[in-house]
Amino acid sequence: MQNAGIDALGLDWRYLACEVAPVDLAAAIAGAKAMHFIGLNLTVPHKLLAVDLVDELDSSATTWGAVNTIVFEARDPDGEWRPLGQLPDASGPVRSKGYNTDADAIVRSLAEDLAIEPRGARVLLLGAGGAARAAALRLADEGVSELWLVNRTESKAAELATEISERFPAVHAQAGYPESSVEILLNATSAGLKPGDPLPLDVSRFPLRGCDVVYDMIYRPHQTPLLTAAQAAGCRTANGLGMLLHQGASALELWSGWIAPRDLMRAALEREIYG
Ligand code: NDP
């Protein structure tokens, strides 16, 4: 996806995947900075750790509490910090700036893939990990009316509900299953990633016919047991490919300053993941 976008923009860059242990994350970021990398994306389990490891945080990272994109910056001739990707002859000190592009990506994917506007909606969110937290805060900020949070470890759902209530008092946030229907059910758990995984919710406590749309953040496999069950119950569904696309395309825009070719990047992503 990124290399297809980079090529289409005519940039002489390459996007590489490197496995880094959490204990080495600070050294990896420092090394990339020393080598004048243009930027980094971070995934599980680095997104929370990176908040304390970058030199600067964009408001997207402070608001949603996680960093999934780092932009390396240097000073331009006017002394302003600018992305290295937009300063071909950069010299002098370099700093790392952390951003979060995941949270906006979920809202954009809901709109594009399911024609859903979260404002005023009743939402059941499954999970309380990093992705669930970013989604819950972002949906609360969008002005959902009710946010029900269900997680395997119930205490984490309760903690997240408390945080949402404190930060967004207009949103009714509560741990547990809703008693009536919801417009949006969002899976932000890892249940469904592996064959034989259980459904991420107890359908005896909340039947899927009680939702209009079901969004599963998982994109591989293409069809999770949750999506199969939701389609059988008559719900409209989407998987997390659109979220993956938009978080990545927004990162490319931050690094390059150009509009990312999202359709082309989506096609590359579909080819790469689904063949
Ligand atoms: P975390 O490890 O932070 O959180 C995992 C969550 O899944 C926790 O709530 C955990 O519950 C729950 N969980 C794990 N296994 C099970 C199970 N067998 N049954 C029920 N619940 C379970 O991961 P992330 O938040 O980073 O990622 C969550 C999911 O979102 C992953 O599937 C990931 O692939 C997807 N994702 C997709 C993105 C996209 O771009 N489409 C972006 C980011 C994430 P507990 O608290 O009890 O451990």
Are 213 and 116 in a shared domain?
yes
- What is the residue with the minimal CA distance to atom 7 of ligand 1? 189
In this predicted model, what pLDDT tens digit does every residue of 68-92 receive, in sequence order? 999 999 999 999 999 999 998 888 9
Are 194 and 257 in a shared domain?
no
Ligand 1 pocket, 151 CB below 6 A? yes
Angle, CA 231 vertex, CA 230 and CA 232 arms, to 5°? 90
Are 187 and 123 in a shared domain?
yes
Are 17 and 145 in a shared domain?
no
The terminus-to-terminus CA distance of the chain in angstroms comes to 13
Question: What residue numbers bound the domain in which 91 lies?
Answer: 2-100+245-274
CA 240 to ligand 1: nearest atom:
41
CA 44 to ligand 1: nearest atom:
26
Report the CATH number at residue 213.
3.40.50.720
In this predicted model, what pLDDT tens digit does every residue of 174-200 receive, in sequence order? 999 999 999 999 999 999 999 999 999
97 carries an active-site annotation: no
Residues 6+ apart with CB under 8 A from 217: 106, 131, 135, 186, 187, 188, 239, 240, 243
Listed in order, strand segments (DSSP E) in 47-204 are 56-57, 69-75, 81-83, 94-99, 122-126, 146-150, 172-175, 182-187
Looking at residue 4, what DSSP letter applies? H
Structure tokens belonging to residue 17: 């995947």
Ligand 1 pocket, 197 CB below 6 A? yes
In this predicted model, what pLDDT tens digit does every residue of 222-270 receive, in sequence order? 999 999 999 999 999 999 999 999 999 999 999 999 999 999 999 999 9
Q: How many domains does the chain have?
A: 2
Ligand 1 pocket, 216 CB below 6 A? no
**Is the per-residue pLDDT at 130 higher than 90?**
no
Ligand 1 pocket, 224 CB below 6 A? no
Residues 6+ apart with CB under 8 A from 106: 134, 135, 138, 139, 186, 215, 217, 243
Ligand 1 pocket, 245 CB below 6 A? no
Q: Which of 69, 151, 187, 189 to mutate to test the pocket of ligand 1 (most atoms within 8 A of CB)?
A: 189
Predicted TM-score of the model (pTM): 0.94
Three-class SS of residue 146? strand
Are 65 and 155 in a shared domain?
no
Report the CATH number at residue 40.
3.40.50.10860
